[in-house]
Amino acid sequence: MATGKIIKSLSGFYYVLHDGEVYQCRGRGNFRKKKVSPLVGDMVEFKADNHEEGYILSIHERKNEFVRPPISNVDQALIVTSAIHPDFNSLLLDRFLVLVEAKRIEPFIVISKMDQLDKSLVEEMETYKAQYEKIGYPVILSAVNDSDSMDEIQAHLAGRTTVIAGQSGVGKSSLLNSIDPRLSIDTDEISESLGRGKHTTRHVELYDISGGLVADTPGFSSLEFGDLELEQLPECFPEFVEVQNDCKFRGCLHHKEPKCAVKAGVENGGISEHRYDHYLQFMQEIQNRKPRY
Ligand SMILES: Nc1nc2c(ncn2[C@@H]2O[C@H](COP(=O)(O)OP(=O)(O)OP(=O)(O)O)[C@@H](O)[C@H]2O)c(=O)[nH]1
Ligand SMILES: [Mg+2]
Ligand SMILES: [Zn+2]
């Protein structure tokens, strides 16, 4: 028996990484009775006499888990958003950030395709970078042909399990290929991938990159706030959390309450207006959610 980590799940097989080698396994353990199915990212006990016919006996307790994409034991999330093609979209970026914050996973942000911009757009992206870094999120302005930016991303990936998220066509697979050309993950022309409204990358796989494991995923296919409660939403905005003790009311939702430190922050410029606007939009979305039983 040995301990390993599931790095890929495809057609009923689990691929378990152990000591630098991969074993193809089926699930056979008593976890099946408990209706737990192995996930990419799981640490497992497995038995294998050769590389093709192993089986998984048990699954270690998970640190965290996602349903879409199906993956567990994630340390951090890399959110990729392109500066152009598709256009930079701060609403979508904030949506990803909230989803990641709700899972209590640390995000970092890459704004890709910086090589395709004219000067005024470069300045706009630099302004966004400064705003998000002030909140505490690292931001890397990148282009696949800019090796400094690729080195910087690589340094963030080392030694941790990272899930990559972002809209289709923003360049998630391309940047992994650029960091490690041996991967040669499929990438797609933007027009095509958007036209079909589908992701080029379809299955979840963890790649071994610079001593870290990275999941190139089709992105979060569900960008809805699902089971996020209204009261949890302010906690997903670190710059709100930072000032919330100065709000007059405990549990202030920073909306209609008087003497609210967040609203004061928006007024005096300490908190970005677009972040607050997006917060109100998300709030409304959660309030309008149909009750589910
Ligand atoms: N100019 C430029 N083009 C890029 C860059 N990164 C990616 N692209 C192009 O953007 C297109 C989409 O890239 P992908 O890597 O397939 O995007 P993806 O995010 O993996 O997309 P899905 O797998 O569909 O989710 C490809 O044509 C890439 O060549 C970049 O830094 N600069
Ligand atoms: Mg891809
Ligand atoms: Zn408040």
Q: What is the pLDDT of residues 195-252, one digit of tens each?
A: 444 555 557 789 988 778 998 765 555 667 777 899 999 999 999 999 999 999 999 9
* pLDDT-based confidence at residue 177 (cuts at 50, 70, 90): very high
3-state SS string for 18-68: ECCEEEEEEECCHHHCCCCCCCECCEEEEECCCCCCEEEEEECCCCCEECC
Average pLDDT over the chain, rounded to an integer: 89
**Other beta carbons within 10 Å of 22:** 15
* pLDDT-based confidence at residue 71 (cuts at 50, 70, 90): confident
User: Does the pLDDT at position 31 exceed 80?
Assistant: no
Whether residue 233 contacts residue 283, with contact meaning beta carbons closer than 8 Å, is answered with: yes
Instruction: Report how far residue 250's alpha carbon sits from residue 238's, in angstroms, rounded to the nearest whole number.
Output: 17
Is any atom of ligand 1 closer than 6 Å to the C-beta of 190?
yes
**Of the ligands numbered here, which is closest to the C-alpha atom of 259?**
3
Which domains are assigned to the chain?
A: 2-61 (2.40.50.140), 71-215 (3.40.50.300), 230-287 (1.10.40.50)
What proportion of the chain, given as a percentage, has pLDDT over 70? 91
What pLDDT, in 10s, does the model give residues 73-89? 999 999 999 999 999 99
| b/e code 242-280 from CB counts within 10 Å (16+ = b) | bbbeebeeeebbbeeeeebbbbebbeeeebbeebbebbe
* CA-188 nearest atom, ligand 1: 16
* CA-198 nearest atom, ligand 1: 24
> Which residue in this structure is represented by tokens 């992994």?
176
The mean per-residue pLDDT over the stretch 106-112 comes to 97
Give pLDDT, residue 222: 60
Detail the residues annotated as belonging to a binding site. Answer: 112-115, 166-174, 247, 252, 254, 260
Whether residue 143 contacts residue 117, with contact meaning beta carbons closer than 8 Å, is answered with: no
| Residue 203 CA from chain centroid, whole number | 15
The alpha carbon of 246 and the centre of ligand 3 are apart by a number of angstroms equal to 8
Instruction: Report how far residue 182's alpha carbon sits from residue 268's, in angstroms, rounded to the nearest whole number.
Output: 50
CA-nearest residue for atom 7, ligand 1, is: 171
Give pLDDT, residue 194: 44
pTM for this entry: 0.87
Burial class (CB in 10 A: 0-12, 13-18, 19+), 45: middle
Highest mean pLDDT among 17-31, 56-70, 103-117: 103-117
Instruction: Report how far residue 142's alpha carbon sits from residue 221's, in angstroms, rounded to the nearest whole number.
Output: 24
The alpha carbon of 252 and the centre of ligand 3 are apart by a number of angstroms equal to 5
Give pLDDT, residue 182: 87
Give pLDDT, residue 69: 75
CA-nearest residue for atom 12, ligand 1, is: 169
Bridge-based pairing state of the strands 54-59 and 65-66: unpaired
The alpha carbon of 48 and the centre of ligand 2 are apart by a number of angstroms equal to 32
* pLDDT-based confidence at residue 38 (cuts at 50, 70, 90): very high
Which residue has better confidence, 25 or 166?
A: 25
The mean per-residue pLDDT over the stretch 9-28 comes to 92
Give pLDDT, residue 193: 43
Give pLDDT, residue 143: 98
* pLDDT-based confidence at residue 11 (cuts at 50, 70, 90): confident
User: Does the pLDDT at position 186 exceed 70?
Assistant: yes
Give pLDDT, residue 197: 46
Instruction: Report how far residue 142's alpha carbon sits from residue 150's, in angstroms, rounded to the nearest whole number.
Output: 7
